A and B are shown apart, each in its own frame.
Chain A
């Protein structure tokens, strides 16, 4: 995690994204760094306002605007994505980095057939592909994401698809140009659980078969446990903990992560009389507390928390497991709910 690994595909360093608003500068993302390798699934977990979607959109160049302040570096292979011009970004989006959004109902244009929309995505990048070839490719893609009878479905309109089918078609479109990185922003949040399970399996299969590097943005730790290799936990614009899937679930270091894990309603455990809860509400990004942003809600806060803890490896045997909490690891293990 420290040095850029040999098979690192996407590297984000000290990414900061702020927006000038009427209420002042809103620092949506404040110093996010991570590396993503081919074939890896990185989950970014957090609540609304944590900065996870802004991070993803900035990678794709979608947050650029006169009132946005973007700092840091984002490199895809040799390409500097933050420095790339709009024209260059347009060819990178879809072609090398593709995105799937939460709401499959609004991501398609309702007046065009599914196949035409997928075909257009291809032809926008590959001018030499004919309409017929693009249509044929769309059929193959629908087939690859598990939509039966692609030959016929390619001519369907979005409203003729169910939510799950539309999300599959969205993924088919994202895959159309064989991207290196797929960013899925809450891809299953709008779906029923039985459909969610199918979509997660699909993402996992594509990741395995195509070596697709995947960033999965979600608020649902259940989804994370089923799919991710590594996890970033974000709170109020900052990464508060990062580690492997096992480290985050079995040796969580940050009290916010404890809170997230504790407040889950789990079917595999006896139900507690009372659901453990995190008190209070997330802070306003325009009015962050000094020091650790989680401090006002943290039952373990002490005087040192008035100073912002760095995102550091605090466990001698786990250099990739880093967190922003001043408590020493010994105390954490004592206080952490099992």
Chain B
């Protein structure tokens, strides 16, 4: 998996000002949400980004996708600098980079039908319309394990797992190269989680997708990732092949994180508790 980088991030910084004052806002401090982060994502791989709440992983995604303006640093997609591009300049690039969100209850417009939700990116980007659009959406629904008859239904008629499939179909619609999945399975029931993880796996093989998989659950991240980057306090504290990071962590924070994951095996859990 030594393919060329699809995405290169260098020294990315996103600070939020902390302001005080009634009439005149004075900047008194800064929250260093992303504080000098560098990494690359190679074509066809899955990079896992792990961190706890407040580590800056979601802000990092938003800054990479230019959904929030980075304070400084460089984001190169296929060799082209995209940090600081205007909305209009970003628009054609949005076809190449899509996002899957954590909460399948909040990320689908409750008033729109499934067909409209999944077809929206195709319509907005002017890729397809009319019966051709309908056809493509049906194919997408089928591909993510939903039935084409679901086209005219509303989001509330679906379970969490099915909604996440709808979100995945929407992200796939424009045949992107890169997908950012922000905690895509953490809101799902255990028996459904494996289904969605396996679906993402299949789609990656079929469409040659590249994933950035963001999650707090290092167990899931290790399963899906080729490489893992561990984030803590706005910085990447460790990065490496998934098995190496989990089996021989080098950074103290990575070790703490791994030691805190419950082991689903009573004897091993007991043994570990005695050694700690």
Contacts and interface: CB of A to CB of B under 8 A. Distances in A.
Tell whether A pairs with B: yes
Interface of A: 47-48, 163, 192-194, 196-197, 200, 219-226, 245-246, 249-250, 259-261, 263-268, 271, 274-279, 281-282
A263 B190 contact: yes
B262 A281 contact: no
B223 to A, nearest CB: 4
Nearest to A201: B273
Contacts of A194: 52, 256-257, 260
A303 B201 CA distance: 34
A222 B220 CA distance: 13
A193 B197 contact: no
Given A47-B191, A265-B222, A265-B223, A197 B260 contact: yes
Contacts of A192: 52-53, 216
B130 interface: no
B223 A220 contact: no
B222 A277 contact: no
A225 B220 contact: no
B128 interface: no
A225 B269 CA distance: 7
B265 interface: yes
Contacts of B85: none
B191 A277 contact: yes
Contacts of A47: 189-192
Interface residues of B, number: 40
B191 A222 contact: no
Interface in B201-217: 201, 216-217
Contacts of A275: 194, 197-198, 223
Given A259-B191, A260-B191, A281 B261 contact: no
A101 B94 CA distance: 41
Contacts of B260: 193-194, 196-197
B135 interface: no
Contact of A263 (B193, B218, B261, B266): B193
5 contacts: A163-B53, A221-B264, A259-B191, A277-B194, A278-B195
Contacts of A226: 262-263, 269, 273
Given A192-B53, A277-B194, A265 B201 contact: no
A260 B190 contact: yes
Contacts of B193: 263
Contacts of B259: 197
A276 B189 contact: no
B219 A220 contact: no
A264 B191 contact: no
Nearest to A259: B191
